[in-house]
Structures are given as C-alpha cells and as structure tokens.
Amino acid sequence: MTSVFLALLPVFIVILVGFGLRRLQVIRDEQWGALDQVCYFVLFPAIIFKEIAAADFSSVPVVSMALAMVMAVLAMFALLLIFHRPIMVTLKIDGPQFTSLLQGASRWHTFIAFAIIPLQFGPKALSIGAVSAAAMTPLLNILCVIVMSRFARETRLHPKQLALSIIRNPFVFSSLGGVAWQLLGLPVPAMGIQVLDMIGRGALGLALLTVGAGLRLGDAISGWPPVLAATVLKLLIMPVLMSSALLIMGVTGDAFAVALLCGAVPTGSGAYVLARQMGGDAPMVANILTLQVIAAAVTIPFVLWMAGATG
C-alpha cells in the first residue's frame, strides 16, 4: 500500500500547490474560476473525445465494464432514495441538503481520476477511463437532475429543460461524440490527434491546481454529519458497490482497477454548479468535496491496493 501511496503522492502535492496559490492570492479568485471553466469546457472534453475515438478497445471489456458501472451508480441512488426519509431525519437535513448528500455520494471527479490513471496504469489506460466517462457521466447527470427537480425545486423540471441540461454538459457530448466516432469506424486524422493532444496536454496539472484552489478547509467541518456521511458513502461504500458489480460482470485486470478508481475518487465539482443552479445546498457540496479530497489521500491508495490484491 505504501508504494501505491507514493506513486499517487504527486497528484495530492499538485492539489496542495493549488491550495497554496489561492491562499497566497498569487492568482485571484475570479481567475481560478476562469481556469476551471477552461478545463471543464475545453481541455477535458478534448481528452475524453480523443481517448474514445482513437482507442483500440479490442482487449477491453467495454460492455461489461460499462454495465457494471451503471449497476453501481443505480445501486447507490436506490439505496439513498429508498431510505431517504430516515436519512433526512437522522441527519436533520432538508430536501436541498439531501440532494447535496446524494451528489456527494454518487458523482465522480474526472480531473482527479484522469490524473491518477496514467501514473498508476500508464497513458494507454486513459482510454479505459474514457469508457468510464461515457458510461457514468450521462447517467449521473440525468439522475441528479431528476432528483434535484424532486427534492430541491418547488416546481418540476420540464423534460425539455432536463434534456438541455444534459446535452450542454461537455463531458456528455465529448464522450458520446467519441462513442459515435468509434462506432462509425471513422479514422482520426494524425493532425487531429496532435491538435487534441496539444489541447489536452496541460489539462491534468492545471485541473489539479483548480481542485486545490477550490478547497475550503475552514468550512469542511461545518454541518459535519451529512458531510461525513457523504464522504463515507463515496469513498468507502461506492468502491464496494463498484467492485461487486465489476466482479459480477466478470471484469478483471486494468479495466477492473480503472473502473474501481473512477468509483473511488471524490465527488465532481460539477455537483456544486448543479446545486447552485437547481436549488441544492451549494456550500454543503463545497464542504463535502473538501473533506473528500483530503480523505481520498488515504482511501484511494487503500482501494487501489485492494484492487491489486483482488486482481
């Protein structure tokens, strides 16, 4: 486990550098927001599209892996929705706060996952991570928006609004675009790959810096019961659900480990945006993300160590 932790240490050091840069005001807050938007709307969609469109998936159990990840996500949503009343009573939270708990327990941080994958499994494994994006991102956005419209909004969301919110997600259209390109059997021009590589080359480090800049250590323990609950659910329970689904579907090797990693990373920063737009508790989401990033420095090496032992 120590070797896994040391291998991943650069990821968390870069996150700490981002935190330090924001605290020292080397880069102003509004500039961090702009950098995050560049990563979200340009750099990472370029990586996801290229990794799916240009990859050779002949040795990757794409269907089994995707189905397993869908099963794990649905299991987490089912668990929280079936028991939402006792959860809300026990944690003393309202509807908007419940949606933040649910987002914190189910979504995944693509930036962190994609930074760890090449370090732990090699650059070629990014294509497996892109499969995870194609499998989970559209589903998670659909489910989160539906739950938000039920628990966090006074009026129900119109189906057209739901469709637009999903289509506008850059991870959705880049992953589905890559899938379509792959299914059509279209070759990716060498120049196109070079352009996408250049666009995506700076994405991983820059994205980790923005993750660090978004940490709010002083607020992480504010309203701690639901924040802690979301952290336990995401970093410990979700990997159990993910590994169980992967084993049921017969997924092994790097595909198993990468999919498990994608289930074990902290919740995504998109959860904060969605909470703010649809009436959820956005500050609570920020607190959840902060605590999860800190705790993930321990839980992710443990999960990957267990994945190696299982494999």
* Token reading at 235: 């970093």
Which distant-in-sequence residues (6+ apart) come within 8 Å of 294 by Cβ?
Answer: 215, 217, 220
Contact 135, 66 (CB under 8 A): yes
What is the pLDDT at residue 311? 53
What span, in angstroms and rounded, lies between the C-alpha atoms of 280 and 274? 8
Which distant-in-sequence residues (6+ apart) come within 8 Å of 163 by Cβ?
Answer: none
Mean pLDDT, the chain, integer: 86
Res. 156: pLDDT tops 70: no
Residue 187 is classified by DSSP as P
Per the structure, the complete domain to which residue 53 belongs is given by 2-310
Q: pLDDT tens-digit profile of 120-145?
A: 898 889 889 988 888 888 888 889 88
Contact 295, 15 (CB under 8 A): no
Which pLDDT band, with edges at 50, 70 and 90, does 40 fall under?
confident
What is the pLDDT at residue 236? 96
How many domains does one find in the chain?
A: 1
What span, in angstroms and rounded, lies between the C-alpha atoms of 12 and 115? 10
* Token reading at 92: 């003393």
Q: Within a 13 Å sphere around the CA of 188, how many CA atoms are in the beta-carbon half? A: 21
pTM: 0.84
Q: What is the CATH number of the domain that holds 139?
A: 1.20.1530.20
Rounded to an integer, the average pLDDT of 93-107 is 94
Q: pLDDT tens-digit profile of 62-92?
A: 999 999 999 999 999 999 999 999 999 999 9
